[in-house]
Amino acid sequence: MSNKINQSIVKHIAKLAQIPISDDESEKLTTAFLETLAVIDELQEIDTSTTEPTHQVTGLKNVLRDDVVIEEQMFLQKEALSNAKHTHQGFFVVPKILEK
Amino acid sequence: MTNSLNQLTLKQALNKIDSNEISINEVYQDLEKEISVNNSSLNIYLNIDKKAGKDASQAKNKPLKGLPIAVKDNFCTTNLPTTASSKNLETFIPPQESTVTKKIKEAGGVVFGKTNLDAWAHGSSTETSAFGRTLNPRNKNHLPGGSSGGSAAAVASDLAIVSIGSETAGSIRQPSAWCGVVGLKPTYGRVSRFGVVSMASSTDSPGPIAKTVEDATIVFNHIAGHDPRDATSSQNQVPDLTKFLNQDISGMKIGVLYLDIPGLEKIKTIYESQIKVLEDLGARVEFVKALNPRYAISVYTVVQRAEVSSNLARYDGIRYGLDRSHFGDEAKRRIMLGTYTLSKGYADKYYNLAQKVRTLFIDDFNKLFEKYDVLVSPTSPGYAKKVGATEGEAMFGELEDMLLEPSSIAGLPGISVPCYRDPSTNLYLGLNIVAPMFREDLMVKVADAFEKNTSWNSWRSHE
């Protein structure tokens, strides 16, 4: 499967990950992908037909908290906006995604 | 005897402040002097809070007595920028404190400087930092390891008394081994991840990097424990690890792993002779076979990239930081590989398969721990690599961390202690000691006994 990786797949993945890349970069990334996939393909050698996956190593499950406001964990509006590059009247400014 | 107070161990500094032999202000003076002389060539600190020490004497009655603690720059701190050594977060000043640094501050420690790391903690060299590589203080032609390379180098160079790092698969223990210091990676869930720039959430574990095993246990005691703000943190009771220093290890059962792996031929005899020290102390040592760690590289690579792809999705430059065009090469590679292995049609082939093999590693460790109290191995397959070694190596970190990845993906605690110094290069090797889940006490017993019965610890040797 990994031998099917090519520059056009890499460019598609970059789009999915919202990472702008140049043609030169897509070539280098293709090489790096092939190198990495060659290593992880070794997993196919192992018989896991009777093995369950592990997602959480300490066995915790469905950790919930009471649905209450904890004031000391809240941000003031000023704090929440303090690192934003673009704000407008107390809001974050986001890129436009819809055209008229 | 030490001249400059930054050369003290944490324990020595605490004792001397307690007995009024030294003042906390003198510690800061010596440390700042040393940093002004050596930091620029080693490139350890990214930001220092020059005012942090001013009120330190007020913490004299608290456990950490106002002492300065260096912190890896992926822990959110309200008094200093938190960059994760990335261009994206270069000017980010968090509006909230990580639980680890909050606990340090509450215990009277002072977060006075933030240390360099591989950008986003993606790496094992500190060479991928957006702010330049850190050099290994033991030999400046070599790398400090990583990703907590700045924190390990800070301790090794006495530019810190003690520091905090974080490990996902080797990032505390490997730089500690390469820099000749002690690195303690707690059980996953033992120390809160709240406020740590997330990398691989299912393995990220904060922990101390220190001059001695004792210092590491003191810091561990202050940062460990359940945190309601990290749902994966454990409610298990935290042991006082300082109680497991100076213990008799005779009769303990120790399994030795990985010495027969190809590539370790050059260091094998050194490890055999150092492991004999444990045997001489009465431990029952046996060489054992474990699941091939090569497969752990693959498991870790799949799981880590997948979690990175998901965790770094938040960096859109809207609420903080710069937009996604500013990611460095390594972050781009990892995010995109994770995006690929999680995409439709590949999740079963890669991600779910990796999580199944992860179970096999856990089962393998469980079986080994039926027979052994702890497992030991080399921390890294060799000495610190030369500056520039990561160039064009997409799998550099994974190969250097191969011997640590099995225990990391299983969530086990581990500690690396210096176990040899090459006289021609002044570079160190580390002994990695791994214990069952939540049994940090067992590894500390062995690590402390080893440290005190050998001469490799460069601070103990001048006591």
3-state secondary structure labels for all residues of chain A: CHHHCCHHHHHHHHHHCCCCCCHHHHHHHHHHHHHHHHHHHHHHHCCCCCCCCCCCCCCCCCCCCCCCCCHHHCCCHHHHHCCCCCEECCEECCCCCCCC
DSSP category for residue B54: T
Q: Would you say residue A55 lies in a domain?
A: no
- A73: nearest CA in chain B? B96
Whole-number Å distance between alpha carbons of B235 and B431: 30
Partner residue facing A29 (CB), from B295, B301, B336: B336
The percentage of residues in chain B with a pLDDT greater than 70, rounded to a whole number, is 99
The percentage of residues in chain A with a pLDDT greater than 70, rounded to a whole number, is 97
Q: Is B35:B154 a contact under the CB 8 Å cutoff?
A: no
Partner residue facing A17 (CB), from B234, B336, B411: B336
| pLDDT above 90 for A99 | no
Q: B304: which 2 tokens?
A: 């880590």
Instruction: With cut-offs at 50, 70 and 90, classify the pLDDT of residue B395.
Output: confident
Question: Which one is catalytic: B11, B65, B72, B105?
Answer: B72
Which of residues A15 and A72 earns the better pLDDT score?
A15
- B-chain residues within 8 Å CB-CB of A83? 91-93, 95, 319-321
- A46: nearest CA in chain B? B357
Whole-number Å distance between alpha carbons of B314 and B323: 10
CA angle B137–B143–B147, rounded 5-degree value: 105
Alpha carbon of B431: minimum distance to chain A alpha carbons (Å): 24
Known catalytic residue at B309: no
Number of domains in chain A: 1
| pLDDT above 50 for B357 | yes
Asked if A48 and B319 come within 8 Å (Cβ–Cβ), the reply is: no
Q: Is B227:B97 a contact under the CB 8 Å cutoff?
A: no
CATH superfamily of B5-462: Amidase signature (AS) domain (3.90.1300.10)
Partner residue facing A83 (CB), from B93, B302, B324: B93
- All residues at 6 or more sequence positions from B232 whose CB lies less than 8 Å from its CB, including other chains: A56, A58, A60, A63, B188, B189, B193, B201
CA B252 to chain centre: 26
Known catalytic residue at B87: no
Asked if B360 and A48 come within 8 Å (Cβ–Cβ), the reply is: yes
Lowest mean pLDDT among A34-43, B81-90, B207-216: A34-43
- All residues at 6 or more sequence positions from B206 whose CB lies less than 8 Å from its CB, including other chains: B75, B100, B164, B165, B166, B167, B186, B191, B192, B193, B196, B223
pLDDT in tens, B310-323: 999 999 999 999 99
Tell me what pLDDT residue B348 has. Answer: 86
Whole-number Å distance between alpha carbons of B367 and B371: 7
pLDDT in tens, B19-31: 999 999 999 999 9
Q: Residue B197: which region, alpha, beta or left (left: phi > 0; alpha: psi -120 to 50)?
A: beta
Q: Would you say residue A30 lies in a domain?
A: yes
Question: Which one is catalytic: B125, B147, B408, B416?
Answer: B147
Whole-number Å distance between alpha carbons of A65 and A62: 10
- The radius of gyration of chain A's CA atoms, rounded to the nearest angstrom, is 23
Asked if B317 and A85 come within 8 Å (Cβ–Cβ), the reply is: yes
Q: Which residues make beta-bridge pairs with B254? A: B285, B374
CA B359 → CA B23, B291, B404, distances in Å?
Answer: 52, 12, 16
Q: Where are the domains of chain B?
A: 5-462
pLDDT in tens, A59-88: 999 999 899 999 988 999 999 999 999 999
Tell me what pLDDT residue B11 has. Answer: 98
Asked if A58 and B298 come within 8 Å (Cβ–Cβ), the reply is: no
Tell me what pLDDT residue B224 has. Answer: 98
Tell me what pLDDT residue B463 has. Answer: 57
Tell me what pLDDT residue B1 has. Answer: 44
Instruction: With cut-offs at 50, 70 and 90, classify the pLDDT of residue B263.
Output: confident
**Locus of tokens 């940062």:** B223
pLDDT in tens, B127-137: 999 999 999 99
Q: B332: which 2 tokens?
A: 């781009």
- Stretch B353-374: mean pLDDT: 98
- B-chain residues within 8 Å CB-CB of A7? none
Alpha carbon of A100: minimum distance to chain B alpha carbons (Å): 22
Q: Would you say residue A92 lies in a domain?
A: no
- B-chain residues within 8 Å CB-CB of A26? none
3-state secondary structure of B13: helix
Continuous H helices in B19-159: 24-42, 99-106, 149-156
Alpha carbon of B144: minimum distance to chain A alpha carbons (Å): 24
Which amino acid type is present at position B46? L
Closest CA to B406 of B335, B367, B349, B357: B357
- The crossing angle, in degrees rounded to 10, of helices B10-18 and B213-223 is 80
- B-chain residues within 8 Å CB-CB of A39? 297-298, 301, 395, 398
- B-chain residues within 8 Å CB-CB of A2? none
ipTM score here?
0.94
What φ, ψ does residue B115 adopt, rounded to 5°?
Answer: -105, 155
Whole-number Å distance between alpha carbons of A20 and B311: 18
For chain B, give me the number of helices (H) and strands (E)? 13, 11
- Stretch B79-96: mean pLDDT: 96
Instruction: With cut-offs at 50, 70 and 90, classify the pLDDT of residue A1.
Output: very low
Known catalytic residue at B23: no
- Stretch B239-249: mean pLDDT: 98
Domain residues for the domain of A22 are: 2-45
Whole-number Å distance between alpha carbons of B90 and B131: 9
- A-chain residues within 8 Å CB-CB of B321? 83
Q: Is B151:B116 a contact under the CB 8 Å cutoff?
A: no
- Tally the residues of chain B: 463
Give the predicted TM-score (pTM) of the model: 0.96
